[in-house]
């Protein structure tokens, strides 16, 4: 049997819906899942943008939706650092001209890397250069490695640009990976995760009615989030910032099971500092700055109330420290 037709339809771009039906002018591309859009991805985008500018071309990022592991290895699929909506926003923020999202299916996975390069990247997109990392591989059986790209480049008229490891924002040379970031977030190490992401780890959710405890019982009203993300930080108390309706607020978040009340229900609750407005039904974004402590089962509501007051003051101090909270 022949290979399936190569006609993936893009589903998103950095502005609206980009169509890949026509060649882009002097397309310089990079391809990946870009989960987290971390500083390694950002370095690729920067190189793509610079190369495209140098040839008066178009900078393009190509990604897949859903994540290929969701299709190929469902049981081994890791939680996403960034859901698709956030990934698109972050790539747009990088300055890339166009984002093409290819629906990933078993049929698409069966396409050979050679056909993908020849029929889609070169003939359909108009690729003139591709920017990849040192260990990059794509396509069926990961056969689309740098060796294959280099072998195809002269005949198809494109350049292969290989980038090395990058320096983190602190100046150290190391490999940045989505796997490492997941591990840091799950361990509650938000400062190290921030170092690799180039921003604070963020979750998003809709504010819903809670169990009516924060304000009435404890004197600290909370915004209770309906969970919408996949990657869950380690349970505990965190200093956070909250984005709502275009404004940025400081806060303290509890993510976990509220052991003092012993109802074993997972919740994400955020006490927004110096804030009294009703935001039920609003979608907010919570940036995790630093973990303050573990969840603890207290012997009384009074003891819990005192600890929340202490946590609030700790959060204020942390969020006032630019070295901790400066990258939102």
Residues 137 and 254 in one domain: no
Residue 10 belongs to a domain: no
Residues 6+ apart with CB under 8 A from 256: 235, 236, 266, 267, 295
Model confidence over 180-210: pLDDT tens digits? Answer: 999 999 999 999 999 999 999 999 999 998 7
Per residue in 28-70, pLDDT (tens digit) is 999 999 999 999 999 999 999 999 999 999 999 999 999 999 9
User: Are 145 and 198 in the same domain?
Assistant: no
Q: Are residues 200 and 283 in the same domain?
A: yes
Q: Is residue 35 part of a domain?
A: yes
152 and 197 fall within a common domain = no
Is 128 found in the same domain as 201? no
Query: Residue 153 sits in a domain of what CATH number?
Result: 3.40.50.620
Q: Report the CATH number at residue 262.
A: 2.40.30.30
At 10 the pLDDT is 47
- Among 113, 133, 167, where does a domain finish? 167
pLDDT of residue 5: 37
Q: Are residues 131 and 237 in the same domain?
A: no
**What does the pLDDT read at residue 301?**
87
- Residue 176 falls inside a structural domain: no
In a domain, 83, yes or no: yes
Residue ranges with strand state E in 209-281:
223-227, 236-244, 247-256, 267-272
CA distance 284 to 9: 31
Q: For the chain, what is the total number of helices (H) and then of strands (E)?
A: 10, 15
Whole-number pLDDT of residue 220: 81
**Do 155 and 281 fall into the same domain?**
no
Helices 39-54, 190-197: crossing angle, 10 deg rounding: 10
Domain boundary residue, one of 167, 198, 224: 167
In this structure, the answer to whether residues 32 and 161 fall within a common structural domain is yes
Distances (CA, A) of 89 to 230, 265, 281, 282: 17, 32, 22, 19
Q: Are residues 265 and 315 in the same domain?
A: yes
One domain for residues 203 and 151 = no
Q: Which residues of the chain carry a pLDDT beneath 70?
A: 1-22, 165-174, 211-219, 322-323, 326-328
Considering the domain architecture, whether residues 128 and 216 belong to the same structural domain is answered as no
**Residue 15 within a domain:** no
| 63 within a domain of the structure (yes/no) | yes
What pLDDT was estimated at residue 18?
Answer: 43
What is the extent of the structural domain holding 307? Answer: 190-325
């Amino acid at each position: 049997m022949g290979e399936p037709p190569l006609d993936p339809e893009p589903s998103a771009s950095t502005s609206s819906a980009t169509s890949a039906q026509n060649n882009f002018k002097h397309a310089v591309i990079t391809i990946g899942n870009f989960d987290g859009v971390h500083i390694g991805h950002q370095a690729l985008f920067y190189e793509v943008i610079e190369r495209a500018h140098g040839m008066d071309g178009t900078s393009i990022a190509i990604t897949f939706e859903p994540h290929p592991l969701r299709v190929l290895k469902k049981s081994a699929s890791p939680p996403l650092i960034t859901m698709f909506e956030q990934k698109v926003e972050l790539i747009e923020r990088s300055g890339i001209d166009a984002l093409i999202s290819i629906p990933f299916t078993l049929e698409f996975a069966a396409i050979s890397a050679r056909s993908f390069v020849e029929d889609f990247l070169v003939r359909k997109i108009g690729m003139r250069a591709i920017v990849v990392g040192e260990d990059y591989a794509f396509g069926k059986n990961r056969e689309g490695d740098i060796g294959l790209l280099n072998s195809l480049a002269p005949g198809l008229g494109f350049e292969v640009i290989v980038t090395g490891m990058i320096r983190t924002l602190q100046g150290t040379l190391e490999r940045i990976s989505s796997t490492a970031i997941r591990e840091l977030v799950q361990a509650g190490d938000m400062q190290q995760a921030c170092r690799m992401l180039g921003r604070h780890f963020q979750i998003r959710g809709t504010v819903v009615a809670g169990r009516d405890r924060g304000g009435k019982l404890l004197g600290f009203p909370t915004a209770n989030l309906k969970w919408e993300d996949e990657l869950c930080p380690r349970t505990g108390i965190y200093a956070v910032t909250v984005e709502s309706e275009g404004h940025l607020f400081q806060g303290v978040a509890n993510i976990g099971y509220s052991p003092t009340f012993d109802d074993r229900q997972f919740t994400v609750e955020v006490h927004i500092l110096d804030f009294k407005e009703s935001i039920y039904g609003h979608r907010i974004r919570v940036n995790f700055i630093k973990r303050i402590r573990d969840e603890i089962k207290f012997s009384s509501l009074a003891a819990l109330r005192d600890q929340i007051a202490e946590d609030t003051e700790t959060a204020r101090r942390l969020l006032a420290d630019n070295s901790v909270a400066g990258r939102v």
